[in-house]
Homo-oligomer: A and B are copies of this chain.
Amino acid sequence: MPKFSHPDFTAARFANSRDARFEPAPADGVLPEGFFSTTNLPTYVRINGSWKMPQESRMDAALVLDANAELWAREGRRVKRGEKVAVGIAEDGSEGIYVFAEAFLAHDPTALGGGEFRFMASDVSREKPIDYGVMARILIAERERGYPIWVCGPALVHSRARADMTWFIENGFVGALLAGNAVAVHDIEASMYGTTLGMTGSGETTIGGHGLHMRAINRVRAAGSIAQAVQQGVIASGIMHACVTRDVPFVLCGSIRDDGPLPDVYTDIAAAQDAMRGHAVKATMAILIATALHAIATGNMLPAFVTEPDGTLRELATICVDSSEFVVSKLKDRGTHQAFGVVTNAQDFMHILRLYVERELDARGLTRTAAPAAATTGAGR
C-alpha cells in the first residue's frame, strides 16, 4: 500500500495559518453553524501553534476538543451541549485546519476529484442527473448545421421507443441511422404484425409468435429490398419506413446473430465498416443507444473532435445511453473518452428527449410534425 510522510508545516504556504477556532455546541446533538465537516483523509488542526491530528478519524464528523485538550472526530449526535467544536470551511490550513488530500488523491493517475475530497466524483452513474434540456438544445442546433448520427440497438424497437425514433427521423434530427439487422427486423415485424419477437406492445407473448420475425424477413427478401417493400406497401410504418420515405441514409451491419438477414444488410463486416465510416467522417454529433457492439464500433471510427467552420476545434458531442454503467465505461475504456453516459432505459430516454425537443421547438416557434398519438403503447402499428 502507498505510504506517506506527514506534511511539512514549516513550508511557506503554512506561514500565514492561524489557530483553528472552536465554538460551543448549542445543544446536545446539535453543532454550531459553520462547523468543520470531516473527511476520511489525514487532517491536521492547529492548536496553540502546533498541528495535531484528531483521534478516531472518520468522514462526516465534527472535530471536538475535549476538557483534556484531546481532539476527536465525533459524530454530531454524540456531541454534548457546550463541547468545543471546530468551525471553518477551508481545508487548506488557512483557517487552521488542513486536509492532506494531495497525498492520497494525487499519486494515482486514475484518481478522481481533482485532488479534493468529494462525493459523487465518479464519471458514469445512474445517480447522476440527466440534463435533457441541454441535449435537446444541442440536437436542435445540430439539425440546423450538423450531421448527427444515431446508432441504435434493438431494445429501441422492442419497446415503445419505436414511435419516438420514427418521430426524430420524420422531423429531420437524424443525419444517418447506423444499426444492425435486428433493429430493422423488429421494426418491420412491428409494422407487419404488431409484435417484436412475437411479444406484443404490452409485453405479452403470442401463440406461434416465435416465427413472426422470420415471416417478416421472408417477405422483405421476397420484395427484394426494404425500399421496395416500402414502395409495395409491405412495410407501412415505423423506423425503416421513415428512413425510406424521408431519404435518411441507413447502414445495416451484419452480425453472426442475424436471422435472414434482410436484403439490405452488409454481410461483409469490412464493407459494413467502410459504409459506417462514410457517415462517421461527416458526423458532428453521435447518439449511441442500447448497443455495445455498434456503439464501440462507431466510437472506434469517430474523432473526438469536430473542426468548426472557423478552424477551431470542439469536442464531438457523444451521448451513450444504456441500462448499465458497464457499457458506457467499456466504450470509454476502448478510447471514446468523450462519451457522456446516460444510464437509463432506452424507451424512457427516447420519450423524454423527444418531449424536451418538442417543448423547445414550440417555445421557439419551430415547426414539427404533430405528435403521434403518443399515449399509445407498445410496438404496434
Contacts and interface: CB of A to CB of B under 8 A. Distances in A.
Interface of A: 1-6, 26-27, 29-31, 33, 35-37, 39-42, 56-60, 75-77, 89, 91, 103-105, 109-114, 116-134, 138, 155, 158-160, 196-199, 201-203, 205, 207-211, 213-215, 217-219, 221-222, 253-261, 267-270, 272-273, 276-277, 280-281, 292-294, 296-297, 299-305, 308, 311-317, 323-326, 329-330, 332-338, 343-345, 347-349, 351-352, 355-356, 359, 375, 377-379
Contacts of A196: 120
Given A1-B317, A56-B281, A119-B333, A294 B256 contact: yes
Given A60-B335, A126-B326, A130-B160, 11 more contacts: A4-B312, A40-B336, A40-B338, A105-B337, A109-B112, A118-B335, A121-B332, A127-B333, A292-B292, A323-B324, A344-B347
A139 to B, nearest CB: 13
A129 B257 contact: no
Contacts of A347: 129-130, 344
Given A256-B269, A268-B268, A129 B317 contact: no
B122 A123 contact: yes
A100 to B, nearest CB: 8
A313 B107 CA distance: 14
A61 to B, nearest CB: 9
Given A42-B305, A268-B268, A337 B111 contact: yes
B128 A329 contact: no
A109 B194 CA distance: 21
A197 B119 contact: yes
Given A325-B326, A344-B344, A5 B210 contact: no
Q: How many copies does the complex hold?
A: 4
17 contacts: A1-B315, A6-B313, A37-B211, A60-B213, A109-B114, A110-B113, A110-B122, A120-B205, A122-B333, A125-B326, A126-B345, A128-B159, A129-B201, A255-B269, A261-B270, A324-B324, A344-B344
B2 A315 contact: yes
Contact of A325 (B160, B207, B217, B329): B329
A292 B57 CA distance: 22
A359 B2 CA distance: 25
Nearest to A211: B37
Contact of A303 (B33, B57, B129): B57
A270 to B, nearest CB: 5
A56 B103 CA distance: 42
Contacts of A160: 129-130
Contacts of A205: 109, 113, 118-121
A60 B181 CA distance: 15
